[in-house]
Amino acid sequence: MTEGYIELKGMHFRARHGCLESERREGNDFTVDFRCPWDISRAAASDNLDDTLDYSKVYAIIAAQMETPSKLLENVAARIADALQQAFPGLEHFELTVSKKNPPVGGECEWARVSISR
């Protein structure tokens, strides 16, 4: 077994997540990061996409979930995690971070982030 990691870092989305009406109306910039340990042995030997986690499908699932507005980043992250686990039953352990640029906190703040591990 050759354990490695599959990662998608810095996926950028314009989305309408937030508690304030202005956030839901105007939208904001978000990034999502995904990382999971993965046995890459078969894919390394076969050079066949069917033998690994297809990260274009991971991206598509994340993008679809980012289109559905939520008030809280916690809800966005949990929905993404649930959708990934439903689509990829072999995906047992992963880390996911959803970040909102310039959150409305009453002062200077570059990012608000929620990270989950499953």
Domains and CATH numbers, the chain: 3-117 (3.30.1130.10)
Q: Listing from the earlier edge strand, what are the strands of the sheet with 28-39? A: 3-15, 28-39, 95-101, 111-117
Helix residue spans in the chain (DSSP H): 21-26, 41-46, 55-66, 73-87
Residue 45: predicted pLDDT: 94
- The CA dihedral of 36, 42, 46, 52, to the nearest 10 degrees, is -30
Measured between alpha carbons, how far is 13 from 6 in angstroms, rounded to an integer?
A: 20
75 Cβ contact partners less than 8 Å away, ≥ 6 residues apart? none
The pLDDT tens digits for 21-59 are: 999 999 999 999 999 999 999 999 999 999 999 999 999
